[in-house]
Structure 1
Amino acid sequence: MFVGRLRESRARPPLPGPPPLEMTATLFLALALSATNPPPPDSGRFTLYKLQHEVGGETFSWVSTAGGRMLTTRWAFRYLGTDVRLETTLETTEDGRPLHLRSHGQTSTLTDIDLDVRVEGARSFPIHRYPPLALEEALFRYWLAHGRPRTLPLVPAGAAAFELRGSDTLASPSGPVVPKRYSVTGLLWGRQSLWAADDGRLIAVVNGDAELDRFEGVREGFESHLATFVRGAVRDGLADLAVQARAVRPIHEGDYAITGARLVDGTGAPPTADAVIVIRDGRIAAAGARGAVTVPQGMAVVDARGQTVIPGLWDMHVHFEQVEWPAAQLAAGVTTARDVGNELELAVGLRDAIKDGRALGPRLLLAGLIDGAPDGLGVQLAGTPDEARAMVRRYHDAGFQQIKVYQSVPPALVSVIAAEAHRLGMTVTGHVPTGMNAFQFVEAGADQINHIGFVLAVMTPPTAPGQPRRPIDLASTEAQHAIAFLREHHTVLDPTLARSEQNAHPKDSLFSVYEPGAAKAPPELAEVLNASGSPDTVARRRMAWLARALPIVNALREAGIPIVAGTDLVVPGHSIARELELEVQGGFTPMQAIQAARGKMYRPAPLWRSAGFAP
């Protein structure tokens, strides 16, 4: 029997907090077990990382009880100023049959859980998505003990599968350890890489977590092998993409023509009905009305009657921290994407695989993330000018086009980073670091700003601490000064409106009410998306803020400030369309929104050439 309450919520200051998803159900299951689990380790610890930066740990212990054994796990980490705590207990029989699971706390800064599961009956295992590592170890040992079935049913929902991918040799004081490497599905969105010893001890995992960030967990004593685990996960992920790329072949390559479609060319010209588009060697050679463009004799033709052709879109704010992202974005018409913060190994691997045809996805432009030491985001953490310059050079040497400055970079280092980037022909984008405002950030050398909130903050008079800002009056001295400043400095803005909507919408509403693409997300991802939002009273204020921000973005565009479209995660394969819809709600024409997603107002030569175009 499963009797429980599962609550998913969000509590990530200063971002909006979670919508609860409450579930009460009674399931009658039968558990027929013939195998016996080997006894698990009595206690241990895992070190937890986000983007390879240590953020905390998970401890666990097994104790004997009157009816069998009980596992208790506690994880605690701190990420971007927010504490995450989770405590889980699993009761089993002496031979390892699961009986009762309780889990309470947070699975990330975005998601809370309150789960109570009792199991009786069929072969199944109680576990929630994005579980603690010791609980996943118990699941893995259960799978081993029961003959490694193709799939293993889970309660309250889903099924897990483990696929052997290889092994890695790790040095240790007691001699080499050779854990096997598996791909795991069913516990989270996408695939997880897992390393385990022959006795079932879990050594490490690498995956996207419940807020879609790159996450690593490593058993105590194996932390020095983190780089091996990161490389192994990237290698297996790229191998999966190569299989996908071989299976999904283009309908046509080389020379061919598309005829009969309605053509929206992105120039501002009216749509062309019954258009002809001629492609030679994979590039558009001619496009126009049927009477103006002729299909060369003998050329293959794609009949596109009843369809619309638009230019490939540019998503200028992505984080492809899982290999599942690129193909989804390509399927949505995104042919160029800018990754503005990722693990270097994964970003470079994806970029090169896509460029070489070993993976399906948009061509990737890369902005290398730099944050402040010691507790910033990722591992490129600068505390001194020399460290900052070295990090810029490392990204440049890896083929990155930009540097992304993050929230905790010391203000004094922004000009150092910008000067070194500009010296090397790179540009600088990012968040406005704490202790600076948008004016100071740009004056220090930033070429671009991520997120509209940083710009809106300088368009009204300063307020007392704890007091809300006044609504923006575009005719005010402050707003006019901000507009003139950004225009004079040619500052580019990617407002990430779809992400703002995800953060602001009421948490007691399914996210699909606002972003229709969320309804098509797989269950593991839908759980994360529906955990987003704000409590009702906060949501009303934040949604009103967003409604006021939309026309301001359009006013910035009308004033000549370059606006580019960027989604910042949200729903793979869908939210680029939502970003354009929100722009249109703010006053963009549909053509202007398409042009924003084509970089029409923003074509710096280094980025444009790197994407294969002439500036």
Structure 2
Amino acid sequence: MTKARVWVGLLLLWMVPTSEAATERSSVVILGKVAGHQQVESLPDGRIKVHFEYNDRGRGPSLDTVYQVGANGTVTSAESQGVDYLKAAVQERYTAQGTSHAWKNSAEDEQREVPGPVFYLGLHAPPEETVLLVRAALRAPGQRLALLPSGEVQVSAVATQTLKGKSSSRKVRLYALSGVDLEPSYVWLDEDQRFFASGSSWSMTLREGFENTQELLLQHQEAEQGRLAQARAKQLTTKLDRPLAITHARVFDPGTLEVAEDQTVLVAQGRITAVGLSAKLPVPPGARTLDAQGRFLMPGLWDMHAHISRGPDGVIAIAAGVTTVRDLANDEKALTGLITDIEAGRDIGPRVIKAGFMDGRSPYSGPTKVFVDDEAEARTAIDHYAAHGFEQIKVYSSIKPELVPVIASLAHAKGLRVSGHVPAFMTARQFVEAGADEIQHINFLALNFLFDKVQDTRTPARFIAVGENAATLELGSPAVRDFIALLRDRKVVVDPTVSIFDDMFHNQPGHWHEGVSALLNRVPPTWQRWMRSGSGGLPDVPKRPELYRDSFLRLVEFVGLLHRSGVRIVAGTDNVSGLVLPRELELYVAAGIPPKEVLRIATLGNAEVMKRDKEFGRVLPGYTADLILIEGDPTLLMSDVRKVRHVIRGDRLYESAAVFRSVGIVP
């Protein structure tokens, strides 16, 4: 018998269910803070009862799920009830009888005949479901298993580790699941094939009593992710170790808003060295040539509101032509490691500008390890951020209003900008008057005029109040005009992230906003299903869809009014940059901003805010060669910004289609 067969045999013995009831509890840890739990009870009759909940700033699911598992490890019935992340009701049921499979949830009501083993993925499911999936897949031929509603998963063991918790030790094994997400996802099981841990540096669910092992678990996960990332980067990155000539391009310069025909752009050592008519500018001997064939060449895009993590985020950004992101909240250690790997060529990703995140202590604190409740804590945090390469401070909703001017003064003394959510019990006007340089999210501007309705904005009230009231906000009123004048006169920047309200104010079970249509057929089946489900909408959208739609349109109008009034807008997504930034830019056009000006906002304008406009954001000699080649003309049709064909990020060249395909996305 081969070693492989012995190993599979041992796994099968490992997976035999016990006749005794067993209960495990796991903690949900968000950036070092326990925010919830999962409790799993395995009953003698084969049923598995799961309760899963966590609190993330007043958001977070609360689910009760009961599974019945068949002899082959697949689920024969599952029933869930509770609420999802945004507190919308969840009621889901799945049953299997022979080859017949039926399921019903808020967005789906289907029945299907499937002859062989298959595993149903819940639309809303606790982490425990991944354990059941791994067990079932390990029993299947080749450790591959078909999925319902669609797709296939393959499971493989990656690493083994013995961990010491507070009162005991456990031997655990890391499994990689391929086919469920854009790249392999990971779960840790103990020696009894029960759930031990899953997640990332941002949020992790792990066995109660072993919370102290998170860093070690992440080291193993990130080592595996790093191995895959390095192989991908080596395969897909063309290092420009000799000059590059991009010939016969239509070149858009955001500095002049002009498009020059039939241009050649020369690049050497990561910088643009010359730009001129192709007929007159010779290609240097030995240079690599990229014939643009009349395609549209422009500077790389910037996403000014990102939370980039290890995995597909940076890959998707580069594939879509996003060459710079500003990260507005992250785990410092994880972000630093990711930036180091990207810059060393061990991973694919954009340039990253770091903003230091802080919040006050409260039941609704944001996901951070940096809490500031007095001047001494503020000074310590700001000194640290200034000394470690951060360029601005982002405050969050639980910061005490009286601390904002202190934070602003301390940050400005260190040369750092100050931005953020408008803290609870404070208006946007007061935030600006206290010294803020920038406001994140357009809803906080609307809330400036809804202070009589909501003051505590630490919870989803900051979304719901806007959805219910923004439709009647008079943008031409003296109060709005006076507030806009204050923003303009103080040179306050607005980061609208209006596309996130596209989801919140439109999506409902089985219905999704039109911006999703551009992505549906490009992403893997599991992502398509999630998008088609209409997830991400606020709970009351189905009751009053017209009101929420009108409120969304008023927010879009507000963005256009800000721009026309001389208030600087920066383009950010608070989402997956490479997938959502085009929609953000389309919404700016819908707000009445001319396409050329929108492209300027997303390139040179963003660079100006971060004081990098002498190096980035133009197609001129001496500028960094962050360039994208596009099929079409986004100065005429903004949706063409999705048709990126090549990306130059300094001294690295990428073919967009190949990079997208590496994470399972159709170009």
Same fold per superposition (TM over 0.5): yes
Q: What does 1:300-311 align with in structure 2 at a 5 Å threshold? A: 300-311=288-299
Residue of structure 2 aligned with 1:580, choices 578, 582, 585: 585
Q: Counterpart of 1:57 in 2: which secondary structure?
A: strand
Question: CA contact under 8 A between 2:163 and 2:170: conserved in structure 1?
Answer: yes
Taking the aligned partners of 2:218 and 2:397, their CA distance within structure 1 comes to 25
Taking the aligned partners of 1:610 and 1:414, their CA distance within structure 2 comes to 32
Taking the aligned partners of 1:178 and 1:527, their CA distance within structure 2 comes to 35
Taking the aligned partners of 1:85 and 1:318, their CA distance within structure 2 comes to 27
Cα shift at 1:268: 2.7
Cα shift at 1:564: 0.9
Cα shift at 1:149: 3.2
Q: Counterpart of 2:68 in 1: which secondary structure?
A: strand
TM value normalised by structure 2:
0.78
Cα shift at 1:246: 0.8
State the partner residue of 1:13.
none
TM value normalised by structure 1:
0.84
Q: What does 1:138-177 align with in structure 2 at a 5 Å threshold? A: 138-144=132-138, 146=139, 149-172=142-165, 176-177=169-170
Note the alpha carbon deviations across 1:499-555, whole angstroms, 9 max, x for none: 222222252564363343331222333344331335245332232233233343233
State the partner residue of 1:437.
427
State the partner residue of 2:345.
357
1:542 counterpart = 2:548: yes
Cα shift at 1:291: 4.5
Q: What does 1:261-300 align with in structure 2 at a 5 Å threshold? A: 261-291=249-279, 293-300=281-288
Q: What does 1:188-207 align with in structure 2 at a 5 Å threshold? A: 188=181, 190-207=183-200
Taking the aligned partners of 2:476 and 2:134, their CA distance within structure 1 comes to 62
Note the alpha carbon deviations across 1:113-148, whole angstroms, 9 max, x for none: 51222253633344426632333333333444x278
Q: Counterpart of 2:544 in 1: which secondary structure?
A: helix
Taking the aligned partners of 1:52 and 1:608, their CA distance within structure 2 comes to 37
Q: Counterpart of 1:64 in 2: which secondary structure?
A: coil
Structure 1 537/291 Cα, relative in aligned 2: closer, same or farther at 3 Å? farther
1:420 counterpart = 2:410: yes
Q: Counterpart of 1:170 in 2: which secondary structure?
A: strand
State the partner residue of 2:122.
128
1:88 counterpart = 2:88: no
Taking the aligned partners of 1:314 and 1:562, their CA distance within structure 2 comes to 15
Cα shift at 1:341: 1.8
Question: CA contact under 8 A between 1:336 and 1:611: conserved in structure 2?
Answer: no
Structure 1 536/174 Cα, relative in aligned 2: closer, same or farther at 3 Å? closer
Question: CA contact under 8 A between 1:268 and 1:591: conserved in structure 2?
Answer: no
State the partner residue of 1:380.
370
Count of aligned pairs between the two proteins = 571
Taking the aligned partners of 1:584 and 1:521, their CA distance within structure 2 comes to 25
Taking the aligned partners of 2:193 and 2:24, their CA distance within structure 1 comes to 14
Residue of structure 2 aligned with 1:556, choices 557, 562, 575: 562
Structure 1 461/392 Cα, relative in aligned 2: closer, same or farther at 3 Å? closer
Taking the aligned partners of 1:243 and 1:182, their CA distance within structure 2 comes to 20
- Identify the structure with the greater helix proportion: 2
Residue of structure 2 aligned with 1:137, choices 131, 135, 147: 131
Taking the aligned partners of 2:450 and 2:146, their CA distance within structure 1 comes to 58
Question: CA contact under 8 A between 2:509 and 2:535: conserved in structure 1?
Answer: no
State the partner residue of 2:80.
103
| Structure 2 portions without partners, runs of 5+ | 1-10, 100-115, 455-464, 625-667
1:505 counterpart = 2:510: no
1:596 counterpart = 2:569: no
Structure 1 215/76 Cα, relative in aligned 2: closer, same or farther at 3 Å? same
- Letter of the 1:419 partner, please give it: S
Q: Counterpart of 1:200 in 2: which secondary structure?
A: coil
Question: CA contact under 8 A between 1:498 and 1:579: conserved in structure 2?
Answer: yes
1:526 counterpart = 2:522: no
Cα shift at 1:322: 5.2
- Letter of the 2:581 partner, please give it: I
Taking the aligned partners of 2:137 and 2:60, their CA distance within structure 1 comes to 32
Runs of 4+ in structure 1 displaced over 4 angstroms?
93-98, 173-176, 186-190, 460-467, 469-475, 604-615
Residue of structure 2 aligned with 1:344, choices 309, 312, 332: 332
Deviates more, 1:591-600 or 1:421-430: 421-430
Cα RMSD (Å) of the superposition?
A: 3.2
1:117 counterpart = 2:95: yes
Deviates more, 1:529-538 or 1:331-340: 529-538
Structure 1 474/601 Cα, relative in aligned 2: closer, same or farther at 3 Å? farther
